[in-house]
Structure 1
Amino acid sequence: MPGTPSLDRADAALYATLVLVWGTSWIAIRHQLGEVSPVVSLLWRFALSAAICFAIAAWRGETLVHPARRHLWFALAGVTMFSTNFLLFYLAGRHVPTGLLAVVFALASPINLGLAALFFKKPVEGRVLLGAAIGVTGVALLYAPEILGTGFDLAALGGLGLAVLGTFSFCLGNMASSVIQRDDVPDIAATAWGMGYGALWLLTLSLTSGAAFAFDWRAPYVLSLVWLALGSSVAAFIAYLALIKRIGPARAGFATVLFPVVALGISSVFEDYHWGPLAMLGVALVAVGNVVVLGLAGRKAATGA
């Protein structure tokens, strides 16, 4: 059976954009947690992101009118990938170290692999599973001091469960996006509708939970909100959905293993993170996992092995 092709230049550019932008999102999210309820902060974020995507799609002349059946998939992607997963991680962050959250989210690649096999009958690629396992182990080592240095009680266990559900929700959204892409819906139009439905779902949750529709006008909140909307939502998700279309959800999902390295690099500059032996080993394992998932099969295919 021939190997999966390695990334071409366009794939690599999309992948690098995704990793770098999502790698900066963690420090921005810190400024969103405070006076404004998490569900309301997410509502502002995805309402702004949806408006931007609709404007770009209209400017590009992409079709925004779609049949009702397709809107069901847009709504499913919105509820799972553009709202609920983020809310679950925000809530989990109240009880679980951010390092452990990063490790849990790094499981998206193998979960995507399993869901693709379940729903679309795609064969399980052992190479991708192996690479993801190596990468997740590397991320765990990167955050080992933070994880081991925190006591684990029932509240933390509940937070861990929320993080697992958040990752699973994200992966379900990936599957919905794969269905949408089978109909050749333009990426930006699909993202716009998904984010629009996500914002409506967040509005519903805000109303039913009685959350106050507050806004923090201080610069850190406003600037982080703009970056999360423009960068981590619009640019990153357009790149991510394009990658799913080009290389499949399992390989695209490996970005969730790589971007914590970028996040820690930023943390070393702004938060005095120190790189110990475990962290250096973790980076090496993430690099090896990255090569296994994205590179080795391409060389096999090229050589006819």
Structure 2
Amino acid sequence: MQTSLTDRIPAPTLVLLAGFTVQLGSALAKSVFELAGPLGTVFLRVFLSAVLLLVLWRPRWQGARNHWPLVLAYGGALALMNTLFYLAIDRVPLGVVVAIEFTGPLGLAVIKSRRWLDVLWVTLAMFGVILLAPLQGSGLDPLGLGFAILSALAWAGHILLTQATGEVVPGLEGLAWGMVFASILLLPMGVGAAGTTLLDWRLLAIATAVAALSSVTYALEMVALRRLPVNVFGVLLSVEPMLAAAAGFLVLGETLTVRAMAAVVLISIAAAGAAKYGIPEVE
């Protein structure tokens, strides 16, 4: 039986690739907030992602039809998580938001942990997140921090719904139809916030690149979650604050402090340890 390219790539590598694509896309999206704001940008990103998925994968409705409540819930989680995240990075630096947002999957990892090694990797990652998120005396926008915390909760729900959808809906059909529903939910806010600015050529070009990156991200995550338990997936995502800091440096000109470098080391150790010792591979 033939296997696809993603079937041959180790599941931990898929998660890390997903983290890289989503953080690069987030940095690119933030760079055009002055054109359409966070609400206009998030709508355009999700809408174009849905278009790309429909064109490239041509999903059939038959596979998702019997599980449409789950697919709709998954689409709602996509819309909520992305909206809260974009509202947060509009007010707070990208690296800080991602560090706070990570507490969502980190919480899942703690709740679902069955092995002491999982707790060790989570603990190391938690210290890294604390170092990377200098909240005390930083003068960060309180509303932005609130959006980041809510985004963390939405991300945890998104992980659970991604896993549930991937288990019962074949291929990427659940992702494609979930993205379509998410774009419908975001349509009124996006058009209301940005109006005809959504047709700006620069915005469309960058939003298309962001949409392509986000589509790749969600596809990689869905494939990975078919082969990984949720707690291990959550630990592996601990590398995302490091990737966000790197994307912020490359795209937005943000620099790393010594404190951030220490966080990067801790988070990298946690991700590497989980990948080497904490992952039961599915045959």
TM score, norm. by length of structure 2: 0.83
Shift of 1:224: 2.3
Distance in 1 separating the partners of 2:89 and 2:16 = 26
In the aligned structure 1, how far is the partner of 2:92 from the partner of 2:50?
30
Residue of structure 1 in register with 2:244 after alignment: 263
In the TM superposition, what whole-angstrom CA distance separates every residue of 1:255-303 from its partner, at most 9, and x where no partner exists?
A: 44212222323444455544443223212101221133222235xx89x
Does structure 2 retain, via aligned residues, the 8 Å contact 1:103–1:136?
Answer: no
Equivalent position to 1:292, from 253, 273, 281: 273
**1:181 matches 2:166:** yes
Q: Does 1:78 align with 2:66?
A: no
- 1:242 offset after TM fit, Å? 0.9
CA distance in 2, matches of 1:20, 1:124: 28
Which residues of structure 1 form unaligned runs of 5+? 1-7, 118-122
CA deviation digits over 1:80-104, x for unaligned, max 9?
1x21111112222344333321211
How many angstroms apart in 2 are the aligned matches of 1:31 and 1:220? 11
**Could you say which structure has the larger radius of gyration?**
1
Q: 1:276-287 residue pairs with structure 2 within 5 A?
A: 276-287=257-268
Match for residue 40 of structure 1?
40
The equivalent position to 1:234 in structure 2, one of 201, 215, 222, is 215
Check whether the contact 1:244–1:252 (CA below 8 A) recurs between aligned residues: yes
Contact 2:166 2:223 in 1 (8 A): no
Match for 2:44: what amino acid? W
Cα offset for 1:21?
A: 1.0
Q: Deviations over 1:18-66 (max 9, x none)?
A: 12212312321222312314223222221211122122332xxx54324
Question: Which segments of structure 1 move beyond 6 Å, counting only runs of 4 or more?
Answer: none
Q: Tell me the matched-pair count.
A: 275
Equivalent of 2:143, from 158, 165, 169?
158
Task: Show CA shifts across 1:201-259 (max 9, x none).
Answer: 1124457xx4343335556533321121001x211100011111111222223344212
Q: Which runs of 5+ in 2 are unaligned?
A: 1-7
C-alpha contact (below 8 Å) 1:14/1:239 kept by paired residues? yes
Contact 1:97 1:150 in 2 (8 A): no
State which of 128, 145, 148 in structure 2 corresponds to 1:138: 128
Go from structure 1 to structure 2 and tell me whether the alpha carbon gap of 1:268 and 1:39 turns closer, same or farther (over 3 Å shift).
closer
5 Å-filtered alignment, 1:238-253, equals 238-253=219-234
The answer for the alignment partner of 1:26 in structure 2 is 26
